[in-house]
A = this chain, B = another copy of it.
Amino acid sequence: MQQDCFVAVHGGAGILSRDSEGLVKQALANACKTALATLQIRNDVNAALAATEEAIVVLENDPCLNAGYGSNLTFAGTVECDAAIMTSEPGDYGSIGAVSGITNPIRLARAVLDHARIPDPLGRVPPMMLVSEGATSFASSVPQPPIAIVPVDSLITLRARQQWAKWKARLDQAEAGPVDSTCPTTAEDQMQDTVGAITCDRAGRMAAGVSSGGLLLKHPGRIGEAAMYGAGCWASQTNRQPHTEASGDSSNNFTISGRSTGEDIVRAMLARSIARALAYDQAETFSGEVDVHEALSEVFVNLFLKLSMARGELNPSAGVILLDRGDADNPRSVRLWCAFTTPSMSIAYASSRHPSPKVKILRRPTRTNTESPVYITAITLS
């Protein structure tokens, strides 16, 4: 039976200024529309994968987000991008890291995933992650569709250059003497980070992807959570309850996004740890029904925050969106979960039943001492 299809995107967890709110909202709405159009036209096994890719292409092309065109600049003043894409088929994953001169890094990650599906005549295991020059040379060898390779400077925006100059000067100053304590750190000032998308097609297949320009003033060659398996995105299909004719396969699927502490997201293997927590809950505790809120809270607090703070990180930043299908009371329900530790997170979502994208800048209330460090909310999509 054909079901509804769904898409959710995010523009990163971070501190979204009121000035750029309108632009970010528009970009997220456009990404939702493009992905939903793809899901509605296509009916093949790669529909969710293609929709996720197309959503992220929109976000990469928009200069107001830190991915593709408009990415943060490295310490050397260059653009180096990370991206990954995954489907709910076991091990179906491709990622690229530290690539320059690729207009849409997510298309290159997709090409790595596609390439890994082709058996090799000598039995060589195909790569799941390619970086730097090697990734660019792979891009030029992809036959169809071609991957756009452009001059490396063409992905730099004026705004990115200005931000770089400002923070480079501040770094030089800091290295010469003590920093003015009233200055914000880069972490408090830079724009939202990693963008991401999750989609679910009419047959219940899912895909998740992320793309990022990485940290402002990062060391060239630095690989962040957007390129690392198990860290920046995950797509899985778990049999969280018995398959029924009415519900189709039950499954869950999510993507995550980090802002200033991508390394801590890698250390916590955030995306995969959440996947495991959800599966574990099912197997061990909830006998068929998962408490998603509890699983998210558990992983954020006991793994991500604990590990980050043990390393002296004062404000570990991460945000996650998660599409969750089905619960015991209502097997056809689909919920979009959002969890983040930052002041805000920008998201958008749409479905075949409600095709007009809803855009939300989720902002947590001003902190109090008793408040949880993680803000978790859920939106019922159907």
Cβ contacts under 8 Å, A228 to chain B: 129, 228-229
Cβ contacts under 8 Å, A127 to chain B: 218-219, 221-223, 263
Contact between A219 and B130, CB atoms less than 8 A apart: yes
Write the A128-158 contact mask toward B (1 if CB under 8 angstroms, else 0). 1111111111100000000000000000000
Cβ contacts under 8 Å, A222 to chain B: 127, 129-130, 134
Contact between B124 and A215, CB atoms less than 8 A apart: yes
Contact between B125 and A221, CB atoms less than 8 A apart: no
Write the A281-320 contact mask toward B (1 if CB under 8 angstroms, else 0). 0001000000000000000000000010011110000000
CB-nearest residue of chain B relative to A311? Answer: B91
Contact between B263 and A124, CB atoms less than 8 A apart: no
Contact between A131 and B215, CB atoms less than 8 A apart: no
Copy count, this protein chain: 2
Cβ contacts under 8 Å, A221 to chain B: 127, 130-138
In the complex the two chains form, what is the Cα distance from A307 to B272 in whole Å?
15
Write the A237-262 contact mask toward B (1 if CB under 8 angstroms, else 0). 00000000000000000000000111
In the complex, which residues 94-135 of chain A have their Cβ closer than 8 Å to any Cβ of chain B? 97-98, 116, 119, 121-135
In the complex the two chains form, what is the Cα distance from A91 to B310 in whole Å?
9
Tell me, yes or no, whether A235 is within 8 Å of chain B by CB: no
Cβ contacts under 8 Å, A128 to chain B: 263, 266-267
How many residues does chain A have at the interface if contact means C-beta atoms less than 8 Å apart? 63
Which of the residues B91, B215, B269, B310 comes within 8 Å of A125, measured between beta carbons?
A: B215
Q: Taking A90-B311, A276-B276 as given, write out 8 further A-B residue pairs in contact, using a Cβ cutoff of 8 Å, ordered by the A residue number.
A: A91-B307, A124-B185, A124-B187, A124-B218, A127-B221, A134-B220, A134-B221, A137-B220
**26 interchain pairs (CB within 8 A)?**
A91-B264, A91-B310, A93-B267, A119-B312, A122-B170, A122-B185, A122-B186, A124-B186, A124-B218, A125-B313, A127-B219, A127-B222, A127-B223, A127-B263, A130-B222, A131-B131, A132-B133, A132-B221, A133-B133, A137-B221, A229-B231, A229-B266, A229-B267, A229-B269, A230-B269, A269-B272
